[in-house]
Structure 1
Amino acid sequence: MPTGLEMNLLRRFNVGDILRRSALRTPDRPALRFGGRNISYADLDGMANRVGNAFRARGVQPGDVVAVLALNSPEFVATWFGLARIGAVLLPVNAMLRGPEISAILRRARVRGLIVEEVLHPLVQTEAETLASVPFRFWLPSGQAADPPSGWESYPAVLNEAAPEFPEVQVENEAPATLLFTSGTESAPKGVVNTHLNWYAALLSALADLELNRRHRPLLALPLFHVAGLYLLLGTLATGATGVLLRRIDGAEVVSAIESEQVTYLVLPATAYAGLLRLPDLERRNLGSLRRCVVFQYLPGEALDRWLQLVPQAEWVGYWGQSELTPLGASTPPEELREHRSRPDPIGRAHLPLEVRLVDGDDRPVPPGQVGELVVRGPAVMAGYFDDPERTAQAFRGGWHHTGDLAVADEDGFLYFVDRLKDIVKTGGENVSSQEVEEVIARHPAVAEVSVIGIPDPYWVEAVAAVVVRRGPVTEEDIIQHCRAHLASFKVPKQVFFVEDLPRSPSGKILKRELKQKYGGKA
């Protein structure tokens, strides 16, 4: 009889196997273009093997969490697939967070290993107590090989010394593959647990809904600490395509890569597309290789019109998704985009592995034309929130995942985004908890009361704004500087408005909708 491991390897879903099978099909084909050089599927696969064996040799077991604080790199890519092969869980840390925020996440996740890139090391170098609790710490040079600080191992050296063979480890389909911390309505970020099966369901959508295939040349500029960056990476390597990997989203570098690398597939948040339009020479650049452009968040009509003129040969896809859905949801097919864009924020039709419905406050389905909360079920729905059974049960009530997003459907079932039921500001592709920012501002001695809202913005799509009741003398710049000392830059209010009183309901709740109506046109 086959052993348990043999049966597991025989028919499992595992993220790490995806790269392996592409490497077996086309070993010499470039998997990545990075810094002007090719990295073949065979080489990337071998690097992933070394990652898995290096951590396994240090006693990392299935279910253990390994965190990565780094910009995009081949090492980051290989780390995800290598960890998956031994059942370890990737925790990609948002590089825009501050040291205390990072430290809190590392402690909550009880990480066994931590990889930090040289340029980001200053973010954690003062978090000595947290770092001391991590058994294995690895230093990833940003450029030329540099000696790691005391207490850190050189990650390239560790990989060079590790065994190159494929590590055969029993990993179940429903085992966690990633742990992604995303801001919610509460000040503490939520840890979203996505399984190997979740990621395979996402792959179905990448093939069917986004039509990724090996003939495309995707630009991998989305940060790999975001679920969208991992999703695009997975689809690229599963199909055997060649991905053009950039360290970060930088407007000039994005355009140069499109030209020099003949990028055909572009996925960016609306903020990035709007930012690219500000480049002074964009009209003169050669963007003729683009065949498909995917935009998440709403791209205002004027900006979309310019892009349609710049790249008339490209198909455009609008996208809505969540980390909790790995990161599926709905999208607007290219053939329907022009038809439906006359209404604000069309998000389209449910992705292949999902069933989506709209419900009222009592979880009863609502008819077409009536606003309801988007609820979802299907194999892409996360396993749950990390160490938070109560929040998981609340999100999964009735056998549906409650997204906290409001939408309306027309008679044909086409979905339009309306608002967020949760108190979140989505700015530049980042989720910001209003309560978290409010708590920081409220600690300022000159602040009596504060309410944080999101207001429309031509660049950020939605900008963080604070409405403050003063207790003493304080200026807008005082509030902003106070926030910068305690929050990641994307959480800092772009504007501060001062009022005598905040509007309230009869029960005393602050009426944020009134604040949004009053200040929404003052971005």
Structure 2
Amino acid sequence: MTPDTVNAPDQPSLTKTLTALAAHAQTRPNAAAILDDAESISYQTLWQDLCRTISALGPIVPAPDALVAVEWTSPYRHILLLLALEHFGVVTATYRPQEIAGDYQRLFAHSDLIAAATIRPHKETLTILCNDMWWERTLSEPADPAAICDSKPAVNHRIASSSGTTGAPKFMMRTCAQSEFRFGQNQMRLGLTPNSRLVLPASFAFQANYLSFISCMRAGGYCIFAGEVPLFRSLKEQSATHSIVIPMEFIALKAPEYRKKLPPGLKIIIVGGSLSPADRTAWHEACPTGTLIELYGTNESGTIAEMQSDKHGKIIPELEVQVVDDKDTPLPFGHAGAIRLRGAPCTVQYLFEDHPRPDRFRGGWFYPGDLAILEDAQHLRLLGRDDDLLNVRGYKIPATAIEDVVKGFPEVVDCCATTLQDPLDDGAIWLGVKFLPNFEFSDIQQKLKTHLTFKADIHLYSVDAIPRGPSGKIQRHKITARLRQHIHSSAQRKPNSTA
């Protein structure tokens, strides 16, 4: 049976993903589908467990286009819940246990059902407890694919969340059409096949992982969840053919164990930011025959441009992109300004907000908060985020102009540059650095003087970690708040050293 024959007149009409899974289960029943916590699950077992989960949820699932929040526990269980709920035409949203408090209460309050694995996160919303006992009972029932009826049609598909650089989640609706468009883009770029081995590093709270997983399942590949194993070690040990990676993971490639040791031909999509020149050099040393696919995009819009070289990219044809001044006037080619965009792939508002967000959505355009130059109608050059520009005594300096240089130093693990704009501060740049063991401050001081292309006073200090959001973006506001508290609580500020 092929995907086309699954929906024959005597067969139920299923979603595109379920149609593919049913076909793989019949034609390749013993082929490996998912590796979760060292347990390999075949396509036949996946399909049977999915049928069991659909049967268990049937009596309680709400009407099509209702909203169900699903707690992330193990990848396999989460997958079964999402695909079963998709069969009923409901909208799903993923949350993690650590997100139960705070801003995620807005999601729970607007949900029609919560599928919780640990505790009930909202006292007023109907909740089903999908704990170990529930799963043991559900997956021990007989699997009866014949009991699966037609999938319910739906307009909306998923609620995506994004915390950006602030850490405060923003929720947005993704329609079925928008999801299908992104699945198609993913498949076009990755070229997944039944022989693919896709390694994923994190939960489906990170949207790119969910999109790539579905693409892999439709193609009949093997999806491997890295779990607690460091990502690049998992890529090597699992003979990965594909992966989705955020830039901060490339720190690991400084270790000599990866030099020419990653699987040949490995194809990686970079999401959540751009790589530094040092990251690209480390990658080519670790995987000389590999392929990096660098994308510029947002959760709100999906991919905006496919990056062709450092900071230069080609805009996808489905989006209209302009660069505007501070009065929203479009600028001619070659002039720097703020990016705005619109088009079918883009969301038009945030959900569950008490007030509109004109800083992001106005006049039918989405403003991602990035600065760029349009080189022509199809190409742009990124300049960075507007909130990543450091105001140094009136001069605007991109933080990445410092961070990309410092990350190239072999003794540096991670770093963050910021300014305070505080009356008690002297207007210098503060550079927090996480070092490898046995570093020397004096070495870094000298390198800063010789490698930076501009002159500025820089206060250098050591940190244990740089605070980052789920996508790896630096949460600069947290570092600034800590530094401001430090200089206000100290009568005389004494930095470790100054470069």
Using CA pairs under 8 Å that are at least 6 residues apart, name the structure with larger relative contact order, 1 or 2.
1
Q: Is the 8 A contact 2:198 2:216 kept in 1?
A: yes
CA–CA distance in 1 between the matches of 2:326 and 2:97?
Answer: 37
Displacement after TM superposition at 1:308 (Å): 0.9
Q: Which residue of 2 aligns with 1:48?
A: 50
Q: Which residue of 1 aligns with 2:110?
A: 109
Amino acid at match of 1:292: K
Q: Is the 8 A contact 2:338 2:369 kept in 1?
A: yes
Q: Which residue of 2 aligns with 1:63?
A: 65
Is residue 2:68 matched to residue 1:93? no
TM-score (norm 1): 0.67
Q: Which residue of 1 aligns with 2:236?
A: 259
What are the equivalent positions in structure 2 for 1:450-465 lying under 5 Å apart? 457=403, 458=407
Displacement after TM superposition at 1:104 (Å): 1.9
In structure 2, do the counterparts of structure 1 residues 188 and 279 end up closer, same or farther at CA, with 3 Å as the change threshold? Answer: closer
Q: Which residue of 1 aligns with 2:253?
A: 277
In structure 2, do the counterparts of structure 1 residues 161 and 11 end up closer, same or farther at CA, with 3 Å as the change threshold? Answer: closer
Displacement after TM superposition at 1:389 (Å): 9.6
CA–CA distance in 2 between the matches of 1:372 and 1:77?
Answer: 42
Q: Which residue of 2 aligns with 1:308?
A: 284
CA–CA distance in 1 between the matches of 2:324 and 2:136?
Answer: 51
In structure 2, do the counterparts of structure 1 residues 366 and 207 end up closer, same or farther at CA, with 3 Å as the change threshold? Answer: farther
Displacement after TM superposition at 1:379 (Å): 3.4
Is residue 2:304 matched to residue 1:318? no
1:383-402 deviation digits (Å, cap 9, x = unpaired) = 64224597478855444433
Q: Which residue of 2 aligns with 1:244?
A: 224
Q: Is the 8 A contact 1:222 1:268 kept in 2?
A: no
Is residue 2:483 matched to residue 1:497? yes
In structure 2, do the counterparts of structure 1 residues 63 and 53 end up closer, same or farther at CA, with 3 Å as the change threshold? Answer: farther
Amino acid at match of 1:132: K
CA–CA distance in 1 between the matches of 2:28 and 2:329?
Answer: 50
Residue range with higher mean Cα deviation, 356-365 or 88-97: 356-365
1:324-382 deviation digits (Å, cap 9, x = unpaired) = 12x322222xxx4xxx33xxx34x22346444343444544433222233333443223
Q: Which residue of 2 aligns with 1:168?
A: 150
In structure 2, do the counterparts of structure 1 residues 161 and 12 end up closer, same or farther at CA, with 3 Å as the change threshold? Answer: closer
Amino acid at match of 1:224: F
Identity among equivalent positions (%) equals 17
CA–CA distance in 1 between the matches of 2:179 and 2:417?
Answer: 31
Amino acid at match of 2:224: V
What are the equivalent positions in structure 2 for 1:167-186 lying under 5 Å apart? 167-172=149-154, 175-183=155-163
Is residue 2:268 matched to residue 1:293? yes
Q: Which residue of 1 aligns with 2:410?
A: none
In structure 2, do the counterparts of structure 1 residues 12 and 161 end up closer, same or farther at CA, with 3 Å as the change threshold? Answer: closer
Q: Based on CA coordinates, which of the two structures has the bigger radius of gyration?
A: 2
TM-score (norm 2): 0.70
In structure 2, do the counterparts of structure 1 residues 171 and 465 end up closer, same or farther at CA, with 3 Å as the change threshold? Answer: farther
1:136-181 deviation digits (Å, cap 9, x = unpaired) = 232445xxxxx6xxxxxx2342344486433424223xx2221123
Q: Is the 8 A contact 1:88 1:177 kept in 2?
A: yes
1:65-115 deviation digits (Å, cap 9, x = unpaired) = 222332552111222221111112221114554x42265244343351223
C-alpha RMSD over aligned residues: 4.4
- Of the candidates 196, 221, 235, which is equivalent to residue 215 of structure 2? 235
Q: Which residue of 2 aligns with 1:157?
A: 137
Q: Is the 8 A contact 1:263 1:290 kept in 2?
A: no
In structure 2, do the counterparts of structure 1 residues 60 and 311 end up closer, same or farther at CA, with 3 Å as the change threshold? Answer: same
Q: Is the 8 A contact 1:220 1:243 kept in 2?
A: yes
In structure 2, do the counterparts of structure 1 residues 293 and 322 end up closer, same or farther at CA, with 3 Å as the change threshold? Answer: same
Q: Is the 8 A contact 1:463 1:493 kept in 2?
A: no
Tell me the secondary structure at the aligned position of residue 90 of structure 1. strand
CA–CA distance in 2 between the matches of 1:109 and 1:39?
Answer: 34
Displacement after TM superposition at 1:465 (Å): 8.0
- Of the candidates 195, 198, 202, which is equivalent to residue 178 of structure 2? 198
- Of the candidates 66, 69, 78, which is equivalent to residue 80 of structure 2? 78
1:456-487 deviation digits (Å, cap 9, x = unpaired) = 654567578877678xxxxx9xxx9xxx9xx9
Displacement after TM superposition at 1:23 (Å): 4.4
Is residue 2:14 matched to residue 1:32? no
Tell me the secondary structure at the aligned position of residue 65 of structure 2. coil
Amino acid at match of 1:302: A
Q: Is the 8 A contact 1:14 1:171 kept in 2?
A: no
In structure 2, do the counterparts of structure 1 residues 277 and 228 end up closer, same or farther at CA, with 3 Å as the change threshold? Answer: same
Is residue 2:383 matched to residue 1:418? yes
Amino acid at match of 2:77: E
In structure 2, do the counterparts of structure 1 residues 104 and 369 end up closer, same or farther at CA, with 3 Å as the change threshold? Answer: same
Q: Which sections of structure 2, spanning at least 5 residues, go unmatched?
A: 1-7, 390-397, 408-412, 425-431, 433-462, 489-494
Is residue 2:130 matched to residue 1:133? no
Displacement after TM superposition at 1:205 (Å): 1.0
Q: Is the 8 A contact 2:115 2:128 kept in 1?
A: yes
In structure 2, do the counterparts of structure 1 residues 20 and 465 end up closer, same or farther at CA, with 3 Å as the change threshold? Answer: farther
CA–CA distance in 2 between the matches of 1:454 and 1:94?
Answer: 31
Q: Which residue of 1 aligns with 2:445?
A: none
Tell me the secondary structure at the aligned position of residue 418 of structure 1. strand
CA–CA distance in 1 between the matches of 2:353 and 2:152?
Answer: 26
Amino acid at match of 1:246: A
Displacement after TM superposition at 1:59 (Å): 4.0
Amino acid at match of 1:300: S
Tell me the secondary structure at the aligned position of residue 483 of structure 2. strand
In structure 2, do the counterparts of structure 1 residues 94 and 37 end up closer, same or farther at CA, with 3 Å as the change threshold? Answer: closer
Q: Which residue of 1 aligns with 2:337?
A: 372
What are the equivalent positions in structure 2 for 1:217-236 lying under 5 Å apart? 217-236=197-216
CA–CA distance in 2 between the matches of 1:28 and 1:11?
Answer: 24
Total equivalences in the alignment: 421
Q: Is the 8 A contact 1:51 1:82 kept in 2?
A: yes
CA–CA distance in 2 between the matches of 1:306 and 1:100?
Answer: 39
Q: Is the 8 A contact 1:355 1:377 kept in 2?
A: yes
In structure 2, do the counterparts of structure 1 residues 460 and 415 end up closer, same or farther at CA, with 3 Å as the change threshold? Answer: farther
Amino acid at match of 2:187: L
